Amino acid sequence: MTDAPDSVAGMEPTPYDPSAVSHLLGALAYAQLSGFGELAAGAQLSPHLAAKGAIAGMAASVYRQFAAVSGRLTALGETPEAAMAPFVEAIDAFHARTAPSDWLEALIKAYVGHGIARDFYAELVNYVDGDTREFVLTLLEDSGQARFISETVREEIADDKRLGGRLALWARRIMGEALQQAQLVAGESDALTELLVGGEHGADLAEFGRIFGRIADAHTRRMERLGLSA
C-alpha cells in the first residue's frame, strides 16, 4: 500500500542485539492485528456495498499478514502474544487518537497510516539479517489496496469538491500521529532503539533523521496519487 522510501543501497546488516528481530516482528504483528480491526470497522462505515466488500477484503489480507508474522515468531521460538505485548499501549493510543468519523477518513487512515508504518518497518530491516529483511519486505508488498483507495478517494472528491480540503487536513493529522507512533514503538525496545541510533551497531543520529525524511517524502508521493496536497 505504499511507496517504500529510498533505502540505503547495498547496505549489509551490522551486529545487533538478537532480540531486535523478535521485537521488530512483535511490533509489526500487533500493528497488523490492530490494523485488521480498524479496517474491518471501516468496512462497516461505508454506505456502498462494493466498497464495503473491498475494504473487508483488505482487512482479511492484513489478517493473513498478521498470521504469517505470528508463524515466523513461533518458528523463532517466541510466543507471539509476548512479543506483541510491549507495543500494545503505543499502537492502541495511536488508534484512539485517530478514530475516523466516516468511511473515507477510514480509507485515508489506512492509506497514510499503514503506508508510513510499512515504510518504517522497511527501514528497520536494513539493519537486521537478510532472511528477516526478505521476509518483511515480501510481506509488505502492495497487493492492490493502494490503487483501490486512490481511485475511490479521487472519485469521491470529483463528486464533492469540499471533501478535498477536509481529507487533506485529516491526512496531515494521520501523518503526524503515525510518525510519533513509529518513534514511540522504537522507544519501547532498547534493541530497536539501538538499531536506529546505535552507531556502529545500526544507524546513527544523522541517519535517523534521514530515515524520517525518506518516510516523509514517500508520504508526499502517496498524497499526490490521492489528489490531495501533503
- Give the pLDDT score at 13: 44
Q: pLDDT for 104-128, tens place per residue? A: 999 999 888 878 888 888 888 888 8
pLDDT tens profile 163-178? 888 998 999 999 989 8
Question: Three-state SS for 6?
Answer: coil
Distance (Å, whole) CA 54 – CA 111: 14
Does residue 220 contact residue 160 with C-beta atoms inside 8 Å? Answer: no
CA distance to 76, 165, 197, per residue, from 194 (Å)? 21, 39, 5
How many Cα neighbours within 13 Å face the side chain of 111?
34
Tell me what pLDDT residue 121 has: 86
If pLDDT is split at 50, 70 and 90, which confidence band does 16 have?
low
Retrieve residue 90's grid coordinates.
503505543
Res 196 pLDDT > 90: no
Residue 197 confidence (pLDDT): 65
Domain over 19-226 is classified CATH 1.20.1260.10? yes
Residue 132 has pLDDT above 80, yes or no: yes
Lowest-confidence segment of 23-27, 60-64, 206-210 by average pLDDT: 206-210
Report the C-alpha gap between 172 and 112 in whole angstroms.
9
pLDDT, the chain, mean: 83
Of 14-28, 32-46, 174-188, give the range with the top mean pLDDT.
32-46
- What is the reported pLDDT for 15? 55
pLDDT band at 64 (very low <50, low <70, confident <90, very high): very high
pLDDT(14) > 60: no
Q: What is the pLDDT of residue 204?
A: 59
Structure confidence at residue 99 as a pLDDT band (50, 70, 90): very high
**CA dist 226 → 109, 111, 141, 165, 168 (Å):** 12, 9, 19, 12, 9
Contact 30, 95 (CB under 8 A): no
Q: Cell 508474522: give the residue.
A: 69
* Whether the Cβ atoms of residue 23 and residue 85 lie closer than 8 Å to each other: no
Residue 25: count of CB within 10 angstroms of its CB: 25
pLDDT band with cut points at 50, 70 and 90 for residue 205: low
Angle 143-30-204 from CA coordinates, rounded to 5°: 90
Tell me the C-alpha distance between 150 and 206, whole Å: 33
Q: Are residues 31 and 188 in contact, defined by beta-carbon separation less than 8 angstroms?
A: no
Percent of the chain clearing pLDDT 90 (strictly above):
40
CA nearest 194: which of 184, 203, 181, 185?
203
What is the predicted pLDDT for the residue at 206? 67
pLDDT confidence of residue 53: 92
Has residue 202 got a pLDDT over 60?
Answer: no
Sequence-distant (6+) residues with CB within 8 A of 186 are: 124, 192, 193, 195, 196
Q: Determine contact, residues 145/1, Cβ cutoff 8 Å.
A: yes
